[in-house]
Structure 1
Amino acid sequence: MKKIAVLTSGGDAPGMNAAIRAVVRTGLDKGLTVMGIQRGFSGLINGEIFQMERRSVSDIIQRGGTILRTARSDEFRTEAGQKKAATILNTFGIDGLVVIGGDGSFHGAQALSKYGIKTIGIPGTIDNDLAYTDFTIGFDTSVNTVLDAINKLRDTSTSHERVSVIEVMGRNCGDIALYSGLAGGAESVIIPEKGYNSNELCKMILEGKLRGKMHNLIIVAEGVGGANEIAQKIEEVTGIGARATVLGHIQRGGSPTANDRILASRLGYRAVELLIEGKSSTVVGVRGGKVIDMDINEALAMEAKFDEELYLIGEALSY
């Protein structure tokens, strides 16, 4: 292993830059040449590859987004596109590739490994929807961004004695809603894993009003969606004013938390170690506080996890 490369793919996540920094500086520390690939697999196919030095990753650990940029690539989804990408890597003499992203990015790394490219995947996605790892890079920052919004919306919700319905990201995984809802003291968390009953929701709000409750916060995961429709239904049934707020891509931005910076640094370091050890088609993650690695096929095949205990705690504390 003499030359490695790193790219970011899919949706951006706070902490990706910290992971890039860790890969680059670990590689250089171990005597490797490190190349950066711009715009993910799209940039790889187009040969957007440049050499990185220690200065290339200076002053980026605190920055959100990704300095390497990211882009979708329909061409890379094809067999011809994947062969071209592998040819480009071989042309540049790149022995190993670190891919930072979510499940779609991991599928890309998986495809390249079939053409003899040594690949290691680092989980970078706010959704926290990769079952093999407890947490993904960017998730903690996203939860804290949502929590900040909850705190602000609570002020106006209390002032107007209304219901605030807040829609958060996460695709079909409810973790952002679950964690931010618990931390923010939400009255109800609506997630794809559990679903909801609109009549029960309205009943809860009315019962709270009888107890003297002045406002309600409802967190809705985008996998359920329909925050505006839920707010409209609540107002129609209960007669209490309800407003919907869709937080959108604000959840992907901002300076990463300490937890995300540390996680990214640990995983980036281990990814380079694995390449030096000759590993391929492998992903890194964290479980029980310890860094782990796993075959990429096994990791992608794992069923989605759901923290039932955390959900029950949230329900018990919401009334």
Structure 2
Amino acid sequence: MPHKIAILGASGYTGAELVRLIATHPAMEIVAMAANSKAGLKMADVFPHLRHLALPDLVKIEEIDFSGVDLCFCALPHATSQEVIRDLPKSLKIVDLSADFRLRDPAEYKKWYGNDHAALECQAEAVYGLTEFYRNEIRTARLVAGTGCNAATGQYALRPLIAAGVIDLDEIILDLKCAVSGAGRSLKENLLHAELSEGYHAYAVGGTHRHLGEFDQEFSAVAGRPVRVQFTPHLIPANRGILATVYVRGDADAVHETLAATYAEEPFLQVLPFGQHPSTRHIRGSNFCHIGVVADRIPGRAIVVAALDNLTKGSSGQALQNANLMLGEEETAGLMLAPCFP
């Protein structure tokens, strides 16, 4: 019998991506989908590209009978998600795609997101969902907190290097470009085609991006002392993809060898031959992350470049990867889709 799946927030980009991925999953069946603002509509009315799938109609969250659900994906906005999850059955397995349960310290959550946490019991039990580094905890978790898409990209490039001690922890610069779908589907003036097309710009400059909370939390835990990176994101006029360029002080060969050894057995993290670097066009629509290392012209410095799809490996694909572990399925189930090219 397939696992019964519910998706809350199905009318957003990450919700639609979950549907696309689960449609090919050999052991999952979507039995309920909620989108309060679109309740009563068919999924094909909201996302015509999913018209070929036999899916339940969209309903309001309170209309779902969770007694018949094995696992719930929650793709709601932060602050909303915690209030909904707080009131769901305590026996229900949940993968949350919002920011609400990523930060372990309630004070850090308030610092970065501006409000007190409304579900502290859930926050205390949540497991951080960077799959490759929290597998054992995720397998036994009831609630998994999906990472930020930028935070995942930066961590794949840097986390093994911090753990191995092959880079200077006080000199890390992370320059990241993210596609516009990372900003969500709601209507915003700065995301209109005429505002965004034919240019790109930095935002949250000077260390104000919320995903810095995840970098601080995770890198400091790995290093055993505070680690603060310089991080500047940029919004680019593309639909999908993140490209992170990371500048570090350390031997480039050692950096490459560390990443290659750490990810040698990982199905979705692929380290390119030394001197090559990735492109977002080569991971689009897939759960893969490509990582390259290049020696800088300045001796003792290296450049790490990582690329992933923000909607897949950065969010919904990662969520499905975690759900597979929680349900005892093969970790790669439903996720071995080849990237879409060109």
TM-score by length of 2: 0.32
Which structure shows the bigger proportion of residues in helix conformation?
1
Of structures 1 and 2, the one with the larger relative CO (CA 8 A, separation 6+) is: 1
